[in-house]
Structure 1
Amino acid sequence: MKLVGVEEHYLAAEVRDAWDAIGLGSRDPCVFIHLADARIGQMDETGLDVQVLSLTTPALHELGPVGIDLAGRANDAVAETIARWPDRLQALATLPVATPEVAALELERCVQILGFKGTILCGRVGSRNLDHPDLRPIFESAAALGVPVLLHPRTPAAEVRSAYYSGFSAEVDAVFAMFGLGWHFDAGIQFLRLVLSGMFDRLPGLQVILGHWGEVVLFYAERLVTLDRFSGLDRTIATYLRCNFYVTASGMFSPDYLARAAAVVGTDRLLFSTDFPYQYRPGGDARRFLAGCGLGEPDKAAFAHGNWLRLTGGSGATQRGGIGR
C-alpha cells in the first residue's frame, strides 16, 4: 500500500540566511533541514513512499518584498530536487505572502508549470492574520486552481508569548510557545478566523489542511458549534469541517486521535504525514501505525494515499510519480 506524507518539511540555507538578517531566527526559531540525498533513505527508514515537501515555518511571512525572488528560487530548487526523484517527492509552493497579488501568481506558476500540489501558509503575515482582506488573492488563487492550502503553525506573537508562554527557563519558554503547545493553538485559531470571516462562503470550493489532528480544533468541535448562533455565516461550523477541511496526522500516531478525527470530518478527509523532521520516526514506525490504526482496508488505503490523490488529482501540469500517473 502506497504511503504518502503530506506534511514533510525542508529549510533552504538561503531562507535561513534571510531570517538571520532580520533576527527572525531568535524570535521564531526552527529546524534546519536540507533537501539532500539522505532524505530518501530517511523516508525508507520510516516507511514513506512519497514526501510532499514544504518550506518550514515561518517561511517567508516576515520578509516583505525580499521574499518575491526568494520564493521563486526556493520553488525552482524544489522542482529540481523532485526531478531527481519523481516517484518519491512532490511539493507545496512557497509564496511571497507579504505581496499577495504576486503570491497568487507564483502559486499559479508552481501548480501549472512546476506541477506542485498546493501551497503552505504559516500563520500571521506580519501583524495580519490569514483572514485579512489583503491576503484574499492567495486563497482565491488556490480555489481557482483547485489546490489545497496547508495551514502550518508558527510561534505566537511576542505579546502572546509573554503573557502565556513565559516565566520558566528560556528553553522551556521556547518549546512551550512552539511545538509544546503554542504552535497548535495558533494554527487552529487561524483556521477558525478563516471560517468566521466568511472565507468559505465566498470560496465554497476552497480546501484547507490542518496538521496534528486538526490543531486542537477537532477536539472542541462540540463547543465551536455555539458560534453558529452568532456568526451570520451561510452554513454551520460542522458543515465547514466536513466540506472545507482535511486533517493530517503530523507524526502523532494515535489511533484514538484518528478515530476522533474520522468521527468529526469523515474518513474521506484523513491524510497521512510524519511531520519530518520534527517527528522523525525511523524503524518503519509509519507503516506500523498504518497497519494498526483501526481502519478497515478501504479506509486505510484512503488514509494512506487515496484521499490525497483525490484532493490533488486535478492539480499540476503533470501527475508526478508512480502513485500519480
Structure 2
Amino acid sequence: MKLIGIEEHFLTPEVRAAWRAAGLDALDPSVGHQSGVIERRIMDIASERLALMDETGLDVQVLSMTTPALHEVTEGSVDMARRVNDGVAEAIARHPDRFQAFATLPVTEPEAAARELERCVATLGFKGTMLHGRVGARNLDHPDLRPIFETVARLRVPVMLHPRTPSQAVRDAYYSGFSAEVDGAFATFGLGWHYDAGIQFVRLVLAGTFDRFPDLQLILGHWGEVVLFYAERLAAMDRVAGLEQPIEAYLRRNLYVTSSGIFLPHYLERAMALVGPERLLFSTDYPYQYREGGDARRFLDSCGLEEKEKAGFAYRNWERLTGSLLR
C-alpha cells in the first residue's frame, strides 16, 4: 500500500541566514532546533532523505519549509520564496515519484504571496501551501492576509497550518520561569507550538473564514493541535459566535488532520470520530520525529483501521484532496 507523508520538512541555507539576519536566533527558540543530525537531514533533499524514507516505509514526502518559514522575513522575501520554490521543483523533477511540495510564501507581503502561490500551483505543480501562524503581529484571520486565502480558495488547494512559537508576551506569561532550555522547549515542541496552531485555526473559524470560503480546506498536524480534544467546549461558543454553521460542522467540512509522527492509535480514533475517516492524513514530521526501524509502515499496519479506511489514511485521502487542483 502506497504511503504518503504530508508534513515532511526541509530548510535552506539562505532561509536560515535570513532568520539570523532578522535576529530570530535570539528571539525564537524554534530556530535553534536545526542542529546536529537534524540540521544535516533537514538541509538534504537527496540521498539520505530518500534512504530514510525507504527505511521507515514512506513512499512519498510532501516537502515543506520548516517553521517559522518566511513569517518574520521582510527583506527580499519575495525573491527568496521564488528561489526556494524553484529549488524544490528541481528536486521533484529529479525524483517525481518520491516528492511533492507545499509552496513557501513571502507572507509578509500578502499580494505577492498570493501571486507566488498561483505560480507554484499552476506552473510548478505544488499541492498547496503551508502557513505557520502569525505573520509578524498579525494572526492569520487579519484582513491584510485575505488575498492569500482568496487565492487558496480559488485554486482549491489545501493549507497546512503548522505550529510556530507563541509571541514573546505569551511566552513570558505562560512558558517562562525555568531554565532557558526548559522555557524554550515548553514554548515550542513541549506544548506552546500546538496551542498556538490550534488557536490560529479557531480564530479562522470565529472570524467567519469558512463562511466566506466554504470549500476552503485546512490541515492540522499532531492529531488536530489540541483543538479536537476540546471540540465539545468549542461547541459551547455556538450561542455567541454568530456563524452560519455550528463549530462542529467546520471540523467535519473544512478540516483534515494528520499524525505528524505521533503514532498513537487512540489519538487516531479520537480524530476519526470527529472529522471522519475520509479526513485523516498520514505524516511523519521528518526529520524531527524520525525514528529508526520502520515506524511509519509499522504504525500503518497496526493502527486498527479497516482496509478501505487504512488506504484512505495512507494515501487516498490526500490524492482525493489534491486531485481537483486547477492547472
Query: What percent of counterpart residues are identical?
Result: 68
SS of residue in 1 equivalent to 2:183: helix
Give 1:260-279 correspondences, 5 Å limit: 260-279=270-289
Distance 1:175 1:316, change over 3 A: farther
2:267 maps to which residue? 257
Does residue 1:10 correspond to 2:10, yes or no? Answer: yes
Does residue 1:185 correspond to 2:195, yes or no? Answer: yes
2:154 maps to which residue? 144
User: 2: distance between equivalents of 1:10 and 1:39?
Assistant: 10
Does residue 1:295 correspond to 2:298, yes or no? Answer: no
Distance 1:316 1:93, change over 3 A: farther
Cα distance, 1:173 vs. partner? 0.7
User: 2: distance between equivalents of 1:228 and 1:46?
Assistant: 42
1:231 maps to which residue? 241
User: 2: distance between equivalents of 1:170 and 1:98?
Assistant: 29
Does residue 1:75 correspond to 2:85, yes or no? Answer: yes
1:211 maps to which residue? 221
2:138 to 107, 114, 128: 128
1:43 maps to which residue? 53
1:246 maps to which residue? 256
Check conservation: 2:156, 2:326, Cα contact below 8 A: no
Cα distance, 1:315 vs. partner? 2.0
SS of residue in 2 equivalent to 1:52: strand
User: 2: distance between equivalents of 1:65 and 1:303?
Assistant: 40
User: 1: distance between equivalents of 2:79 and 2:198?
Assistant: 30
User: 2: distance between equivalents of 1:265 and 1:26?
Assistant: 39
* TM score, norm. by length of structure 1: 0.96
User: 2: distance between equivalents of 1:177 and 1:155?
Assistant: 6
1:156 maps to which residue? 166
2:204 to 177, 187, 194: 194
Q: Deviations over 1:10-39 (max 9, x none)?
A: 010000000001111232224231123211
Counterpart residue type for residue 81 of structure 2: A
Counterpart residue type for residue 250 of structure 2: Y
Q: Any stretches of 5+ residues in structure 2 without a counterpart?
A: none
User: 1: distance between equivalents of 2:239 and 2:175?
Assistant: 32
Q: Any stretches of 5+ residues in structure 1 without a counterpart?
A: 318-325
2:322 maps to which residue? 312
Check conservation: 1:72, 1:106, Cα contact below 8 A: yes
Cα distance, 1:316 vs. partner? 6.2
Cα distance, 1:200 vs. partner? 0.3
Check conservation: 1:119, 1:149, Cα contact below 8 A: yes
Check conservation: 2:6, 2:62, Cα contact below 8 A: yes
User: 1: distance between equivalents of 2:296 and 2:63?
Assistant: 17
1:22 maps to which residue? 22
- Residues matched between the structures, number: 317
2:73 to 53, 57, 63: 63
The Cα RMSD (Å) is 0.9
User: 1: distance between equivalents of 2:324 and 2:315?
Assistant: 15
Check conservation: 1:148, 1:206, Cα contact below 8 A: yes
Counterpart residue type for residue 87 of structure 1: D
SS of residue in 2 equivalent to 1:219: helix
SS of residue in 1 equivalent to 2:153: helix
SS of residue in 2 equivalent to 1:120: strand
Q: Deviations over 1:135-158 (max 9, x none)?
A: 011011111001000000000000
Q: Deviations over 1:20-73 (max 9, x none)?
A: 011112322242311232110011111100000000000001112521010000
Counterpart residue type for residue 289 of structure 2: Q
SS of residue in 1 equivalent to 2:272: helix
